[in-house]
Structure 1
Amino acid sequence: MTAPTTATDVNQPSLEHAPPTGRRMSWPVLLLVIAGALALTSIVRLITGADGITNVSQMSTALQLAVPIGLAGLGGLWAERAGVVNIGLEGMLILGTWFGAWAGFQWGPWTGVLVGVIGGCLGGLLHAIVTVTFNVNHIVSGVAINILALGATRYLAPLAFEGHQGGSAKQSPAVESLGHFTVPGLSDWLTDLNAKGWFFVSDIAGLLGGLVTNVSWLTLIAVALVPGTWWILWRTSFGLRLRSCGENPVAAESLGVNVYKYKYLAVIISGGLAGLGGVFLSIVANPFYLEGQTSGRGYIGLAAMIFGNWMPGGLAIGAGLFGYTDSLNLRGGSTNVHALLLLGALLLVIGAIWLAVRKKYVQAVITLVVGALVFAWYAGTNEVPSQVVAATPYVVTLVVLALSAQRLRMPKADGMPYRKGQGK
């Protein structure tokens, strides 16, 4: 149902449309780029014989590892679209892991999901009080929440878990599984097709097979939250008002928007989404809470959000990329990462050609030299050290952010202090 047109609605589009720093990639072009990257990956697979880089189990693992990163990134998206920088996502993930496991082993996994989300919301509420009401620097508040969450869970874990079977000062008892599902027939067909090793077709089968094989119900909810977030923020009057608070809160206030209310709601929802990501880690990925199990995923989620240019679709692609590189640690890491060196070299060469076409010759030469060095590394070795495999997700995070930095456009008032009535 379309909302009735009012003076506020007529004027609000001016808050929505700010000139971006670069052209937004259309969906057909984006799909073409993804298809091209998959075709290039298929070529690398055929050359190197590293079939594991696109098999069903690899993609299934990548999806599982991408979910908490994507949920943390969605949390950051909600907060920053309202103008609040949320560096505290890591702490809210930690709260989600602890509260989810604590409630889950006592009252069941779905209760754990609910309580874990509430735990993340509490972290978001604290961040909102400190930044919105008291105007404390957003970065300082976020870092403080990360430290506070870590200290609080370390204090609470021995009190809650010691004395229970399987529990200790750093680990909770086991939590009952939420359950998984596999699409019958389709999963087997895609797995068989992937095993044939055909160019491109088998790689697509591996990608799709990972989406329908051994999938948690919480994964399904997380995936649905991506288009759900897009619809709410870009197709409803609520979302328009919330985003106006991140673009120009003074103008939003002049049009009758309660800026404080929308900022509070956005940051609390942000914490809840991050808390859900923590629940996924302590109930789905591992059926127990374990100290340190977030492993910086809140920060990587923030990087995925930036890579996605503060848009849900781009964020999902970024989370998938980081989840995929993280999955290399678990399945044939050394062999697969060595094969991906060739893929990286080819991508750098293509990037150099693209830069040369755009007459950016210095950047093109530098990119080409780096590509040549990566290829030399690939050609001169048969495997990579385990330390390189472990560092791959973080290296990819830095490289992706560096390459995408020039096309980014954050909300105009993101991180800026705001006081009610300051425009008068």
Structure 2
Amino acid sequence: MTAPTTATDVNQPSLEHAPKAGRRMSWPVLLLVIAGALALTSLVRLITGANGITNVSQMSTALQLAVPIGLAGLGGLWAERAGVVNIGLEGMMILGTWFGAWAGFQWGPWTGVLVGLVGGALGGLLHAIVTVTFNVNHIVSGVAINILALGATRYLAPLAFEGHQGGSAKQSPAVDSLGHFTVPGLSDWLSDLNDRGWFFVSDVAGLLGGLVTDVSWLTLIAVALVPATWWILWRTPFGLRLRSCGENPVAAESLGVNVYKYKYLAVIISGALAGLGGVFLSIVANPFYLEGQTSGRGYIGLAAMIFGNWMPGGLAIGAGLFGYTDSLNLRGGSTNVHALLLLGALLLVIGAIWLAVRKKYLHAVITLIVGALVFAWYAGTNEVPNQVVSATPYVITLVVLALSAQRLRMPKADGMPYRKGQGK
């Protein structure tokens, strides 16, 4: 005799049994892939002589540029795990930059951090009211918030900043630094090891050195938020309820979960995290608010979240990749990007071999041809145009999303309208 099926058995939201787009990569395999990519980069460095692609300064800059992207991506992760698409991350970052700088230059940088969080959370609250309560299309609401945030800050900036020393209609007065830290001894040792130019070892030293040299306290907080998000969403009852709202809100409601409450909380937290990314831009990356300083990082954060398959660890890798490519603009961009053409060609050849092993011969041939063209570009030039350097982060965004599209699985109810009691 089989046991009777209960309502709980039928309606229990189960993330473990949700359809998957492919096997999830285990941590040992992922670490091997990262090590292999770093070894290949080290080989390219030795061939081309472009030592800047893995030095401590490059990695430190990459970390600084990755933080706001990662925070925006974390914001998107919280909202979409609860079933709300948040295209408004860019606008919430803009609110964070303005509110953070406005409070920071008057009452100190840490007050600016808190007020910037509140500014982004207000944008999240507005998005939640429009999408959760009134069931407006999530994309339309997000775009409207981006436009509203840009217009509001342009209107408020002259009122708040003009008349103060260093302030203008498009820029705030300077904000005091939050402070930086360097791990004594370890930083110098890693920097010395990196300068030796050894294969792989010096590149690992450069990567680790960037994590312990001249790091802002807000960077440390941002990095800690990645494992904190994973623990809250995947290891607590609160996180299970929140994720169930993004997978099957009707089933979650049948088990007593207040779906509206969890969606509101998730989107407000989403806005606060995006606002924190904006604060980083206006207090850490630059000690002032500057109109347009987000430069689309909210959208790139959303791309990093998708690349990471709606998981914090993958998101962090995506943010690091985009931050690294963005850092090429600031440190020897033309030389470094030219060296990375060789890296791209090698990766394409490896990809072609992998496709051939899997008997996808047409895809393998196309990939090999593209790799040959990239190598010809590298071999026939000594540098790349500055326009290519500037476009590199956005090109990488498109390429990575295109390559990772086949293994993605978004929350099942992400972006779908929901009304309380609709399952009855």
TM class by shorter chain equals: over 0.9
Instruction: Count matched residues.
Output: 424
Instruction: Say whether 1:84 aligns with 2:93.
Output: no
In structure 2, the CA distance between the partners of 1:10 and 1:204, relative to structure 1 (3 Å rule), is: farther
Q: Please give the per-residue CA displacement for 1:106-145, whole angstroms capped at 9, x wherever unaligned.
A: 0000000000000000000000000000000000000000
For the residues of structure 2 that align with 1:182 and 1:23, how far apart are their CA atoms? 39
TM-score of the pair, normalised by structure 2? 0.98
In structure 2, the CA distance between the partners of 1:8 and 1:229, relative to structure 1 (3 Å rule), is: farther
Q: Please give the per-residue CA displacement for 1:345-402, whole angstroms capped at 9, x wherever unaligned.
A: 0001111111111111111111111111100000000000000000000000000000
Would the aligned equivalents of 1:16 and 1:247 in 2 still touch at CA under 8 Å?
Answer: no
Root-mean-square deviation over aligned CA pairs: 3.1
For the residues of structure 1 that align with 2:412 and 2:59, how far apart are their CA atoms? 37
Alpha-carbon distance, 1:275 to partner: 0.2
In structure 2, the CA distance between the partners of 1:4 and 1:200, relative to structure 1 (3 Å rule), is: farther
In structure 2, the CA distance between the partners of 1:215 and 1:420, relative to structure 1 (3 Å rule), is: same
For the residues of structure 2 that align with 1:217 and 1:380, how far apart are their CA atoms? 44
In structure 2, the CA distance between the partners of 1:251 and 1:10, relative to structure 1 (3 Å rule), is: closer
Task: Out of 79-88 and 11-20, give the one that drifted further.
Answer: 11-20
In structure 2, the CA distance between the partners of 1:383 and 1:241, relative to structure 1 (3 Å rule), is: same
In structure 2, the CA distance between the partners of 1:114 and 1:185, relative to structure 1 (3 Å rule), is: same
In structure 2, the CA distance between the partners of 1:6 and 1:186, relative to structure 1 (3 Å rule), is: farther
Would the aligned equivalents of 2:13 and 2:252 in 1 still touch at CA under 8 Å?
Answer: no
Alpha-carbon distance, 1:194 to partner: 0.1
- Counterpart in 1 of 2:267? 267
- Equivalent position SS for 1:14: coil
- Counterpart in 1 of 2:123? 123
Q: Please give the per-residue CA displacement for 1:294-347, whole angstroms capped at 9, x wherever unaligned.
A: 000000000000000000000000000000000000000000000000000000
Alpha-carbon distance, 1:9 to partner: 10
Task: Out of 17-26 and 396-405, give the one that drifted further.
Answer: 17-26
Q: Please give the per-residue CA displacement for 1:223-262, whole angstroms capped at 9, x wherever unaligned.
A: 0000000000000000000000000000100111000000
Alpha-carbon distance, 1:12 to partner: 4.0
Alpha-carbon distance, 1:14 to partner: 2.2
Would the aligned equivalents of 1:82 and 1:263 in 2 still touch at CA under 8 Å?
Answer: yes
For the residues of structure 1 that align with 2:87 and 2:4, how far apart are their CA atoms? 37
For the residues of structure 1 that align with 2:184 and 2:10, how far apart are their CA atoms? 50
Alpha-carbon distance, 1:17 to partner: 3.4
TM-score of the pair, normalised by structure 1? 0.98
What runs of 5+ residues in structure 2 fail to find an aligned partner? none
Would the aligned equivalents of 1:16 and 1:243 in 2 still touch at CA under 8 Å?
Answer: no
- Counterpart in 1 of 2:143? 143
For the residues of structure 2 that align with 1:130 and 1:354, how far apart are their CA atoms? 47
For the residues of structure 1 that align with 2:357 and 2:19, how far apart are their CA atoms? 25
Alpha-carbon distance, 1:13 to partner: 5.5
For the residues of structure 2 that align with 1:56 and 1:415, how far apart are their CA atoms? 41
For the residues of structure 1 that align with 2:39 and 2:176, how far apart are their CA atoms? 40
For the residues of structure 2 that align with 1:6 and 1:242, how far apart are their CA atoms? 23
For the residues of structure 2 that align with 1:127 and 1:289, how far apart are their CA atoms? 24
